Amino acid sequence: DAGVTQSPTHLIKTRGQQVTLRCSPKSGHDTVSWYQQALGQGPQFIFQYYEEEERQRGNFPDRFSGHQFPNYSSELNVNALLLGDSALYLCASSSQGGLAINEQFFGPGTRLTVL
Amino acid sequence: KNEVEQSPQNLTAQEGEFITINCSYSVGISALHWLQQHPGGGIVSLFMLSSGKKKHGRLIATINIQEKHSSLHITASHPRDSAVYICAVRNTGNQFYFGTGTSLTVIP
């Protein structure tokens, strides 16, 4: 049983570019949450997708957008990249819009570096 | 000021030592979580607390709601306990706030 998978593992972009990160939830899960973790910081909640809709959103600008597909996988898109967007992006899956952290299974993350 | 503060930021211990990591928060919460993050990013939930104390193996977590403080204790520490430990709270509006983490290294 595969857990949460994310791709790519690492990514390097330049300022102003756009990036798409991908996440496949754990088998049996239908909800995906995205977090940004800057170096030396705790994760910050970006948003959650359930039933192909954004259900909750943290304090992130509109440059951060997402999508959930009918197979429950999800994408995180970031436009007009800034140096400050460099971080580890974590995806977590849960069931039925579960928000409690202990209900979420985290993926290994995608390390984004913006030059 | 962060809504969740952890101390210490870094901790080095000898194998077998008793370890305490502290978390203070400033918001009203519905739950507090202790998380373990290994190198490479994977995060595992250790405890969810809303009151009192929980124990799982060598790990103990306590919370004092009145003082807005929680502690994570590790008894008989082992090198495999080396990781970053993160305190996170969920407020009554379902917003999450994370501490910056405590990096623990246990030396054999």
**pLDDT tens digit string along A35-82?**
999 988 889 999 999 999 998 898 899 999 999 999 999 999 999 999
Do residue A102 and residue B40 have CB atoms under 8 angstroms apart?
A: no
> What pLDDT digit, counting tens, does each position of B12-58 carry?
999 999 999 999 999 889 899 999 998 877 888 899 998 999 999 99
What is the signed CA dihedral for A86, A108, B5, A55, rounded to 10 degrees?
80
Question: What's the pLDDT at B96?
Answer: 81
Task: Report the mean per-residue pLDDT for chain B.
Answer: 92
Q: How many CA atoms lie within 13 A of B21 on its CB side?
A: 31
Q: Which residue does chain B place closest to A45, by CA atoms?
A: B96
Q: What is the CA radius of gyration of chain B?
A: 13
Q: State the amino acid at position A55 in one-letter form.
A: R
Contact residues for B66 (Cβ-Cβ < 8 A; gap 6+): none
Q: Which residue does chain A place closest to B41, by CA atoms?
A: A108
Contact residues for A103 (Cβ-Cβ < 8 A; gap 6+): A94, A95
| Tokens at B38, concatenated | 């290994």
Which residue in B4, B41, B98 is closest to A108 by CB distance?
B41
Question: Which residue of A102, A104, A105, A111 to mutate against B (max B Cβ within 10 Å)?
Answer: A102
Do residue B42 and residue A108 have CB atoms under 8 angstroms apart?
A: yes
